[in-house]
Amino acid sequence: MKANGAVRIVAFVVALILVTLGVVGCGGGAPTTSEPAAQTTQPGSNQSTAAVQATPAGIKPIQLPKKFEPDRTTPQFFKEALERKQPIVVFFYNENDTVSEGLRESLREISRDPKYAQVIFLALDASRPDLVFGLAEPLGANYTPFIAILDSEGVIRTEYPGYVDRQLLEQAIYEVVVGSTQ
């Protein structure tokens, strides 16, 4: 049993290195555009986030920041989360993906920190249409793993397609929380 766990850890580290180096994609396939992502800087931050991203054919990139506008396709649980006027972290994952599992654990640890008690954390299995229909496209989730961070007004402030470092993710969540309490 311990050998099996060690093999999983080694496989995860190798996959993480390959994804970081750009040798392997995170389930999104080849991008359809070769244009570089436009960069924006969040207010009060020295961090840049991609405002326009390369996307698979047929899916339009979104410009950030962008207000999430619920419509008839938006799941009720998400409408209720928006009505609470709290920051929301939405995580689309795939059960069979080691990168998704690593990010899920990072988010689990971050969500347990008392300073993020007012943040709503949603982890959505991308293979369940009842959870993701009406959310994936408006949030810009083209493949898994994918994380979108919304402020208390429902504005999408940051998105992370693919792997993101835990410290960078926590910093982005912190900036949204601080901005929501001012």
What percent of the chain clears pLDDT 90, i.e. is strictly above it?
Answer: 57
In terms of Cβ atoms closer than 10 Å to its own Cβ (0-12, 13-18, 19+), residue 43 is: exposed
CA distances 149 to 22, 121, 175, Å, are 24, 9, 10
Q: Determine if the pTM surpasses 0.85.
A: no
Its domain, for residue 46, covers 37-180
pLDDT for residue 152 is more than 80:
yes
CATH number for position 140:
3.40.30.10
Tokens for 139? 């949030």
pLDDT digits 0-9 by tens, 126-144: 999 988 999 999 999 988 9
Say if 13 falls within a structural domain: no
**Is residue 123 exposed (0-12), middle (13-18) or buried (19+ Cβ within 10 Å)?**
middle
Q: Would residue 82 count as lying in a domain?
A: yes
Q: In the prediction, which pLDDT does 47 show?
A: 40
Say what the pLDDT of residue 93 is: 96
Q: What is the pLDDT of residue 103?
A: 95
Number of domains present in the structure of the chain = 1
CA–CA separation, 126 and 182 (whole Å): 34
pLDDT at 61 over 70: no
pLDDT digits (tens, 9 = 90+) for 63-108: 889 999 999 999 999 999 999 999 999 999 999 899 999 999 999 9
pLDDT tops 90 at residue 20: no
In a domain, 133, yes or no: yes
Domain presence at residue 83: yes
Distance between CA atoms of residues 24 and 34, nearest Å = 17
Q: Assess if residue 31 is contained within a domain.
A: no
Q: Is residue 109 part of a domain?
A: yes
Q: What is the pLDDT of residue 122?
A: 97
- CA gap 158, 147 in Å, rounded: 8
Let me know if residue 5 belongs to a domain.
no
Q: Residue 43 falls within a domain, yes or no?
A: yes
